[in-house]
Amino acid sequence: MPSQPQSGRRQRAVNFSDDDWEPGRAAAEQVGDNRNNVIERLYAWWLRRPGAELPERPPQEVIDQADAAWEALKTEIAAEALKLPCTVCDVAAGPCLMGKGKGKRPSKGFHRPRFTAATAIVKERYGDTSDD
């Protein structure tokens, strides 16, 4: 059973760049922590809560490894996305078309549904069932 939130606690949505969010998970796990704890401690410190302390930062080599792993995973996700059809721009494979009307051109980016599907395929390949 998944952990249940404590009274007065509920899931919140925050926006982070994937280039910070994904390596942050790996770096936190490498030092025996998790992103949620790190974020909570940072926020408590920022709000000057009594007794709040900054979390310990991971060593630079751990961050470098996490960044490199994320870059490799992004490359794999992009390669997978190119194989999938896009329900937004109706391409069967290859780059998504971006722009309006007749001005649509191939792009380096992907529409969210296609990127999400490719990410799920790659994460499943590695047994990553996290939903963040």
**Burial bucket for residue 38 (CB in 10 Å: 0-12, 13-18, 19+):** buried
Q: 89 lies in which domain range? A: 18-125
Q: Are 30 and 58 in contact (CB under 8 A)?
A: yes
Is 8 domain-assigned? no
Query: Model pTM?
Result: 0.76
Structure-token match 């310990």, residue found? 56
Is 9 domain-assigned? no
Total domains, the chain: 1
Q: What is the pLDDT of residue 11?
A: 86
**Tens digit of pLDDT at every position of the chain (132 positions):** 556 656 778 888 989 999 999 999 999 999 999 999 999 999 999 999 999 999 999 999 999 999 999 999 999 999 999 999 999 988 999 999 988 777 788 888 889 999 999 999 998 998 876 655
Q: What is the pLDDT of residue 109?
A: 86
Is 91 domain-assigned? yes
Q: What is the pLDDT of residue 70?
A: 94
Is 130 domain-assigned? no
